[in-house]
Amino acid sequence: MKTIANSLNKSSGYNSQQFVEKSSNQAFYRFVIRLVSGSALCVTAAIQAQAQTQVAVPDSGSVPASSGNTNSSDLFLLPPPAKELKAFKNEVGATADFMFGQGTVTVPIGYGLAQDGGGLKPEVITPNRSSVYYGGTLSYSFGRAWYLDFSYEKGNSTGSQPLSVPFTQNGPLNTSFIYNDEWYQLYVRYNFQDLLAGTRFKAYLRGGGSIVQATLSVNDTGQSLYRQNDNTTDYLGNLGFGLSYSLYSTVRIKIGLQVEAEGFGGVRSQQISEYLDSDQNFTSASDNINNNLFGGIGRGTVHGEFRMGQSGRWRLTSDVGIQAKYTMITYQGAGSYTEYLWGPYVKVGVSYLF
């Protein structure tokens, strides 16, 4: 048997010891390959699990859990997280506004002519008017909590009214009027930054003063018998507030609802000059009267903001809605009368943050 085994070893080219060593080497190689393959499978499974449970969020940069439908290759398609814009402390800005309104205006009649000694009693009429108002506001803020606002507003109103003049025998006169007023306003405004923090609401409170200068022209359009020219000056104190609610907000775009209300009160000095050509007797007279007035302004708008540029220093704003104004005037010797005005309102602005 030994002779046969030796003969086989010689014929096969290797002995039994070589056969055992070769078999051991093959088993070792198979073990190493299996170990490497298993490690690779573990790493692949870990990467896939990581991809399924994490996605990048562009707005906040956080990594919330996913529903498990995200493939690992999707990570390379998502944009990098967006950086939050820098919070600036100060602001300067300018806005322009426009309003087209309908309402009434008070027109005093007979104050000047009553000084002629004819025993006439003055009266006040309230004809309808169509108005256009436009203006602008300049603002400065230190710390973006306290603001100083200066605004200018100009209005042009027109209308017509049949006028029963008691001191003429010609009957009712068809009259037209033009009323122009200019508002100069200075305000201090405070934004409540901490009071409503963590909510969708923002609020402000403002107070200041206004000077209103106006002219009134009334003309008889039919017989050219009567005309009136007035100059008035109002000195008013103002106090108001604003409240906004955020509907949609991102780093650069904000859309919300805004309500603003303001009360005012003060005095009016009015110089009235009247002219009457009655039965070929021309009369010209004037009078100065002082009136008290108070009222309020309300505004409801949709407010929008857009931050421009990489740093977001420039900001565009817009307001679109409705504005209403109510005024009660106590005329000397004639009682109290009301004016109102309402209509669509638009405001656009730009500000620079630093």
Same structural domain, 259 and 195: yes
Give the per-residue pLDDT at 155. Answer: 97
Same structural domain, 227 and 310: yes
Same structural domain, 33 and 152: no
Look at residues 53, 76, 99 and tell me which one is the last residue of a structural domain. 76
Asked if 275 and 226 count as a contact pair (C-beta separation under 8 A), the reply is: yes
- The answer to whether residue 84 is domain-embedded is no
Same structural domain, 43 and 154: no
Neighbouring CB atoms inside 10 A of 281's CB total 7
CA-to-CA dists, residue 164 to 115, 125, 172, 280, angstroms: 19, 10, 4, 19
- The answer to whether residue 83 is domain-embedded is no
Same structural domain, 287 and 145: yes
Same structural domain, 103 and 245: yes
80-101 pLDDT, tens digit each: 444 556 678 899 999 999 999 9
Q: Which pLDDT band, with edges at 50, 70 and 90, does 1 fall under?
A: very low
Look at residues 76, 108, 140 and tell me which one is the last residue of a structural domain. 76
pTM for this entry: 0.72
Asked if 352 and 90 count as a contact pair (C-beta separation under 8 A), the reply is: no
Neighbouring CB atoms inside 10 A of 3's CB total 7
Asked if 350 and 315 count as a contact pair (C-beta separation under 8 A), the reply is: yes
Buried b (16+ CB within 10 A) or exposed e, 204-242: bebebebebebebebbbeeeebbbbbbebebebebebbb
The number of folded domains in the chain is 2
Is residue 23's pLDDT more than 90?
no
- Give the pLDDT mean for 184-207: 91
Same structural domain, 281 and 184: yes
User: Picking from 167-176, 186-195, 225-234, 245-254, which range would have the lowest pLDDT averaged per residue?
Assistant: 167-176
Same structural domain, 41 and 129: no
Same structural domain, 222 and 283: yes
Q: Comparing 120 with 187, which gets the higher pLDDT?
A: 187
Domain extent at residue 145: 91-353
Give the per-residue pLDDT at 11. Answer: 44
296-354 pLDDT, tens digit each: 999 999 999 999 988 889 999 999 999 999 999 999 888 999 999 999 999 999 999 99
Query: CA-CA distance, 282 to 226, in Å (whole number)?
Result: 10
Look at residues 42, 76, 110 and tell me which one is the last residue of a structural domain. 76
User: Picking from 127-136, 188-197, 278-287, which range would have the lowest pLDDT averaged per residue?
Assistant: 278-287
- The answer to whether residue 81 is domain-embedded is no
Same structural domain, 149 and 245: yes
